[in-house]
């Protein structure tokens, strides 16, 4: 009985740390499975949602701000910097970004810096500047200041490829409580599991959050080829080499006529 009371107190404390629950987010994603087929050139997913009052407290407190953060599967990526050594440009320095998302989109209805104060954004990891991108520095793994040249170069290069993005116009409010967010999936989108974090703010305070998920998968022929290459490397290689010989032979037959 006493243990139960302790548990109850603990639960209350934990929920007390959560945002004041006057609002509830209900979201729905247009598609939970992005199928990469042979004619895949990218896709745009749509996340719809409404802001509902909690049954106990009926008051809604518009205007609202909404931030949607989509994170792709984790990868380790090395960022290298060239330097001139004896007249030649060589990769002199490099940093490893450990377990960072291969895809990262921060979508909001206005610039994230206008939505909440820097401390809160930092704590919630909202925005490309605030998202945790740990680097291996010596034997340590830690995120650096946002002005770190390697961090900036990494984010810039990922953005150039369309894999990282921060858009202050991707979320639109259809009514003060109904919103839609456009989630762009570029053609080079990595396959794997994606997480979607939705955070609702009003007047700079976090009031509700929810999450969703989606999978980017290869299907049909693409899946078959990728599986074969991974699981039966030797056979796959021999088949490819045989294909090369066959095509070479066919060509010489075709061209032997004249």
Burial class of residue 38 in the structure, from the number of CB atoms within 10 Å of its CB (0-12 exposed, 13-18 middle, 19+ buried): exposed
Cα–Cα distance between 124 and 17 in angstroms, integer?
A: 14
Binding part of the chain for other proteins, among 91-99, 107-115, 175-183, 194-202 by CB under 8 A, reads 91-99
213 touches other proteins by CB under 8 A: no
Instruction: Read off the tokens for 55.
Output: 């049954």
Nearest to 61 by CA among 226, 202, 204: 202
User: Does an H or E element contain 34, and which?
Assistant: strand 33-36
Q: Binding to other proteins by residue 56, rule CB under 8 A?
A: no
Angle value at C-alpha 212, between 207 and 215, nearest 5 degrees: 155
Interface residue with other proteins, options 16, 147, 256, 257 (CB under 8 A): 256
Single residue of 40, 148, 167, 195 touching other proteins by CB under 8 A: 40
Q: Which two tokens stand for residue 209?
A: 């959050």
Residue 117 is a binding residue for other proteins (CB under 8 A)? no
1 or 41: whose CB is closer to other proteins? 41
Among 15, 28, 83, 117, binds other proteins (CB under 8 A): 83
Residues that bind other proteins (CB under 8 A): 36-41, 73-84, 87-91, 96, 99, 102, 150, 153-154, 156-158, 187-188, 190-192, 218, 221-223, 225-226, 229-230, 233-234, 236-241, 243-245, 247-252, 255-256
């Amino acid at each position: 009985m006493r243990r139960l009371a302790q548990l109850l107190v603990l639960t209350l404390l934990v929920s007390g740390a959560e945002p004041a629950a006057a609002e509830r987010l209900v979201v729905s994603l247009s598609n939970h499975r992005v199928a990469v087929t042979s004619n895949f050139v990218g896709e745009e997913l749509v996340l719809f949602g409404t802001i509902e009052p909690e049954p106990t407290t009926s008051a809604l407190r518009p205007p609202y701000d909404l931030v949607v953060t989509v994170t792709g599967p984790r990868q380790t990526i090395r960022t290298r910097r060239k330097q001139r050594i004896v007249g030649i440009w060589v990769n002199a320095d490099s940093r490893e970004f450990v377990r960072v998302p291969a895809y990262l989109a921060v979508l909001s209805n206005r610039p994230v810096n206008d939505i909440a104060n820097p401390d809160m954004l930092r704590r919630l990891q909202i925005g490309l500047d605030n998202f945790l991108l740990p680097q291996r520095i010596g034997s340590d793994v830690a995120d650096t200041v946002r002005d770190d040249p390697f961090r900036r170069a990494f984010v810039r290069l990922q953005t150039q490829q369309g894999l990282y993005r921060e858009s202050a116009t991707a979320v639109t409010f259809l009514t003060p409580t109904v919103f839609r967010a456009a989630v762009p999936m570029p053609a080079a989108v990595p396959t794997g599991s994606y997480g979607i974090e939705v955070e609702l703010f009003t007047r700079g305070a976090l009031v509700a959050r929810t999450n969703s998920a989606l999978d980017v998968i290869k299907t049909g022929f693409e899946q078959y080829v990728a599986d074969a290459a991974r699981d039966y490397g030797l056979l796959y290689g021999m088949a490819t080499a045989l294909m090369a010989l066959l095509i070479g032979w066919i060509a010489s037959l075709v061209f032997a006529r004249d």
